[in-house]
Amino acid sequence: MIDLHCHLDLYPNVLQLLSTVAEMSTYVLFVTTSPRRWQATREVFKSYENIECAVGMHPEIVSEKYSERALLLQSISECRFIGEVGIDGSTRHKGTIDRQTEVFTDVVRESERVGGRILSIHSRNAATPILDIIEGEQVKSTYILHWFTGSMAQLSRAIDLGCLFSVGPAMLLSSKGKQLVSRIPLERILPESDGPFARLDGEPILPWEAMSIGSQVASLHSLTEQQVNEGINQNFSRLIAVADRIPLRST
């Protein structure tokens, strides 16, 4: 069971959850909301071999956490994966869009400077600025757009730029989400839970439930569930091969 975007530290019963993750999950990409949070939680999570800790700064709280910007940029050299990062252009967060754009641009540049990283990106109501920044900088990094909600035209542009997409059960609840997923090539799809924020029937989606997208993706792509799951596993193997070549700062 693979999950490429999960806020493990935010579930109510973290320690109990971790022991189940150790049994149920092959791999969980644990994305963090601030670099201080990353520093604290990676100590707790480091004994779990199937959990990868990504340093991030959630775009919704960039202005609150702005003082941690230097720590965020410094920490990029220590991580293969970066996230959650991005821009949120929705009405509630429009006021901080300049700071969000500045921090995201810095993260993308620093990731390139240190040899390329794999970024898990939030792009709600901000697909165009996100893609503009990626297009301007992209050389070595890999970009995963998490829970993409842009237009069909923005989706095509993201596909042309080589982006990957992490898709979760919650994204497949809406008809727009289904329509987008039907247009994403299978070779670009990875599973995500986005738990505990993302919910199904009122309950936070658990990391090992991310792979349950298989049957719906199969019907949207006119494939069998087995073909989709094999495809997703191959995408994951290719991603880990990229991650294994990332040069980390030796500490």
Find the binding residues for Mn ion in span 190-209 (CB under 5 A).
194
Please give the structure tokens belonging to residue 41. 């939680």
- Closest separation in Å from C-beta 52 to Mn ion: 15
Q: What are phi and psi of 120, to 5 degrees?
A: -100, 115
Please give the structure tokens belonging to residue 220. 């949207």
What is the residue type of 63? S
Of 28, 39, 45, nearest in space to 65 by CA: 39
Separation CA 70–CA 106 (nearest Å) = 10
CB 60 within 8 A of CB 93: yes
What is the residue type of 18? L
Q: Which is nearer to Mn ion, 3 or 84 (CB)?
A: 84
- Closest separation in Å from C-beta 202 to Mn ion: 18
Indicate the helix (H) or strand (E) that contains 189: strand 189-191
Q: Which is nearer to Mn ion, 80 or 146 (CB)?
A: 146
CB 213 within 8 A of CB 167: yes
For Mn ion, which stretch binds (CB under 5 A), given 86-94, 129-137, 188-196, 204-212? 188-196
- Closest separation in Å from C-beta 241 to Mn ion: 25
Q: Which is nearer to Mn ion, 33 or 75 (CB)?
A: 33
Cα angle for residues 52, 73, 45 (degrees, 5° grid)? 25
Q: Which is nearer to Mn ion, 30 or 231 (CB)?
A: 30
Map residues 76-115 to x or -, x wherever contact with Mn ion holds by CB under 5 A: --------x-------------------------------
- Closest separation in Å from C-beta 33 to Mn ion: 8
Find the binding residues for Mn ion in span 117-176 (CB under 5 A).
none
- Closest separation in Å from C-beta 185 to Mn ion: 23
Summarize as ranges the residues that interact with Mn ion (CB under 5 A): 84, 194
